[in-house]
Chain A
Amino acid sequence: MLLLRLEGVTKRFGGLIANRDISLEVQRGQIVGLIGPNGAGKTTLFNVITGFQKADDGKVLFKGQEITNLSAHAICKKGIGRTFQIVRTFKDMTVLENVIVGALNRYGSTVAAKERALEVLDLIQLGADPETKASALTFVNQRRLELARALATEPELLLLDEMMAGLNNTEIKEVTDLLRRIRDRGITLFIVEHVMEAIMPLADRVVVLDFGEKISEGTPSEICSDKAVIEAYLGEQYARGE
Chain B
Amino acid sequence: MKSYMRVIPKGMSARHIAYLVSAMLLGAYPFVFREPYFLYVMINMLLYAFLGEAWNIIGGYAGQCALGHVAFFGLGAYTSSMLFIKFGVSPWLGMLVGAFLAGGVAVAIGWPCFRLRGAYFALATIAFAEMVRVLFNHWEFVGGAVGLRLPVLSDSFKAFQFRSYIPYYWIIFAFFVFSFLLVYRLSKSKMGFYWRAIRSDPDAAESLGIDTTKYKLISMFISSFLVSMGGTFYSQLVLYVDPASVLVRDLSVRVALVAIVGGMGTIEGPVLGSFIMILLSSLIRARFGEVPGLHLVIFATILIVISTYEPRGMMAILENLRSWAERRRSVAAP
- CA of A146 to CA of B204 in the docked complex: distance in angstroms? 9
Contact A72 B204 (CB under 8 A): no
Contact A90 B197 (CB under 8 A): yes
Taking A84-B203, A93-B200 as contacts, is the C-beta distance between A150 and B208 under 8 angstroms? yes
Task: Output the least CB separation between B12 and chain A (Å).
Answer: 14
Contact B209 A77 (CB under 8 A): yes
Contact A84 B190 (CB under 8 A): no
Contact B190 A108 (CB under 8 A): yes
Taking A73-B210, A97-B193, A104-B193 as contacts, is the C-beta distance between A52 and B203 under 8 angstroms? yes
Contact with A along B196-214 (1 / 0, CB 8 A): 1100110111111111100
**Among A51, A89, A100, A104, contact of B204 (Cβ-Cβ < 8 Å):** A89
Contact B188 A110 (CB under 8 A): yes
Show 21 residue pairs from A and B whose CB-CB distance is below 8 angstroms, ordered by the A residue. Answer: A71-B206, A73-B212, A76-B206, A76-B207, A88-B203, A89-B201, A90-B197, A90-B204, A91-B200, A101-B193, A101-B196, A101-B210, A104-B193, A104-B194, A105-B208, A108-B190, A110-B189, A110-B190, A110-B193, A149-B208, A153-B209
A184 proximal to B (CB < 8 A): no
Contact B201 A90 (CB under 8 A): yes
Inter-chain contacts of B205 with A (CB < 8 A): 101
Contact with B along A174-211 (1 / 0, CB 8 A): 00000000000000000000000000000000000000
Taking A73-B211, A76-B209, A153-B209 as contacts, is the C-beta distance between A88 and B201 under 8 angstroms? yes
Contact with B along A65-86 (1 / 0, CB 8 A): 0000001111011000110100
Given A73-B206, A81-B208, 8 additional A-B pairs, CB 8 A? A52-B206, A71-B206, A84-B203, A88-B201, A97-B193, A102-B208, A109-B190, A150-B208
Chain B at the A interface: SS class: helix
A115 proximal to B (CB < 8 A): no
Taking A90-B196, A97-B193, A110-B188 as contacts, is the C-beta distance between A105 and B201 under 8 angstroms? no
A50 proximal to B (CB < 8 A): yes
- CA of A97 to CA of B204 in the docked complex: distance in angstroms? 14
Chain A's interface size range is 20 to 34
- CA of A149 to CA of B211 in the docked complex: distance in angstroms? 16
- CA of A84 to CA of B208 in the docked complex: distance in angstroms? 12
- CA of A146 to CA of B210 in the docked complex: distance in angstroms? 16
Contact B207 A81 (CB under 8 A): yes
Contact B194 A101 (CB under 8 A): yes
- CA of A82 to CA of B203 in the docked complex: distance in angstroms? 11
Inter-chain contacts of A73 with B (CB < 8 A): 206-212
Taking A104-B190, A104-B193, A110-B193 as contacts, is the C-beta distance between A88 and B208 under 8 angstroms? no
Across the A-B interface, how many residue pairs have beta carbons closer than 8 Å? 76
Task: Output the least CB separation between B207 and chain A (Å).
Answer: 5
Contact B211 A71 (CB under 8 A): yes
A92 proximal to B (CB < 8 A): yes
- CA of A81 to CA of B196 in the docked complex: distance in angstroms? 20
**Among A90, A102, A109, contact of B200 (Cβ-Cβ < 8 Å):** A90
Q: Which residues of chain B from 49 to 99 have a CB within 8 Å of any chain A CB?
A: none
Contact B189 A72 (CB under 8 A): no
**Among A89, A92, A105, contact of B209 (Cβ-Cβ < 8 Å):** A105
Task: Output the least CB separation between B209 and chain A (Å).
Answer: 4
- CA of A101 to CA of B207 in the docked complex: distance in angstroms? 11
- CA of A105 to CA of B200 in the docked complex: distance in angstroms? 17
Closest to A101 in B: B197
Task: Output the least CB separation between B216 and chain A (Å).
Answer: 12
Taking A93-B197, A97-B193, A110-B193 as contacts, is the C-beta distance between A88 and B204 under 8 angstroms? yes
Inter-chain contacts of B207 with A (CB < 8 A): 50, 52, 72-73, 76, 81-82, 84, 150
Closest 5 pairs between A and B when the two form their complex, measured CB to CB: A76-B209, A105-B209, A90-B200, A72-B206, A88-B204
Inter-chain contacts of B188 with A (CB < 8 A): 110
Task: Output the least CB separation between B11 and chain A (Å).
Answer: 12
Inter-chain contacts of B212 with A (CB < 8 A): 73
- CA of A106 to CA of B212 in the docked complex: distance in angstroms? 16
Inter-chain contacts of B200 with A (CB < 8 A): 90-93
Contact with A along B176-194 (1 / 0, CB 8 A): 0000000000001110011
Task: Output the least CB separation between A124 and chain B (Å).
Answer: 16
- CA of A71 to CA of B209 in the docked complex: distance in angstroms? 9
- CA of A97 to CA of B207 in the docked complex: distance in angstroms? 16
Task: Output the least CB separation between B191 and chain A (Å).
Answer: 10
